[in-house]
Structure 1
Amino acid sequence: MKQNFLFRGIACIVIGLAVLLAPGFLKSPGLQEAVGGSSLVGWFAVVLGVALVAVHLLRRPRKR
């Protein structure tokens, strides 16, 4: 079974960025506070996504 690290990495990056940027677009102060408090989770998702993309780039066969 082939694992697609690139797809998973991009998905994690998008989710992380959505969590980090969402408080600026929300109008409800309660929601802003709730989502703003989860910024650590957003940064973790971004870092995990970058790591998965790096694994994909390092594991792909090199053309000579």
Structure 2
Amino acid sequence: MPLPNVPTRRPNNAATRQADTQANKELLFKAILLGLIGLGVLLSPYFITSPGMQGIVANASLVGWFALVLGCAFMGLYLKRRLSASSKP
């Protein structure tokens, strides 16, 4: 006797909806935080008056770009989740 097929959808109950909502909120928080960190690292050399410190922060621009791109990716994933959840009946 063969085993039944694996379920393709999660159960639609209050516990799974609560977990999905919490995961979406955390993803949005991470996206905003990473975006702010990335912008802070990229824009701070223009506002720092000490040339030595300005050079150190300017050399970390790769980290700023990485944080900004990762924040945008998390925001895109959040929007994808929100749009797919709202289109379900």
* CA shift for structure 1 position 59: 1.3
For residues 19-58 of structure 1, the aligned pairs below 5 Å read: 19-58=41-80
Higher relative contact order (CA 8 A, sep 6+): 1
Question: Percent of aligned pairs with the same residue?
Answer: 47
List per-residue Cα deviations over 1:3-59 (Å, max 9, x = no partner).
221110010000000000000000101100000000000000000000001111111
Aligned residues: 64
The CA RMSD over aligned residues, in Å, is 1.3
Q: Distance in 1 between matches of 2:72 and 2:28?
A: 9
1:15 aligns with 2:37: yes
- For normalisation by structure 2, the TM-score amounts to 0.67
Q: Distance in 2 between matches of 1:7 and 1:58?
A: 15
List runs of 5+ in structure 2 lacking aligned partners.
1-18
List runs of 5+ in structure 1 lacking aligned partners.
none
Task: Spell out structure 1 runs of 4+ moving beyond 3 A.
Answer: none
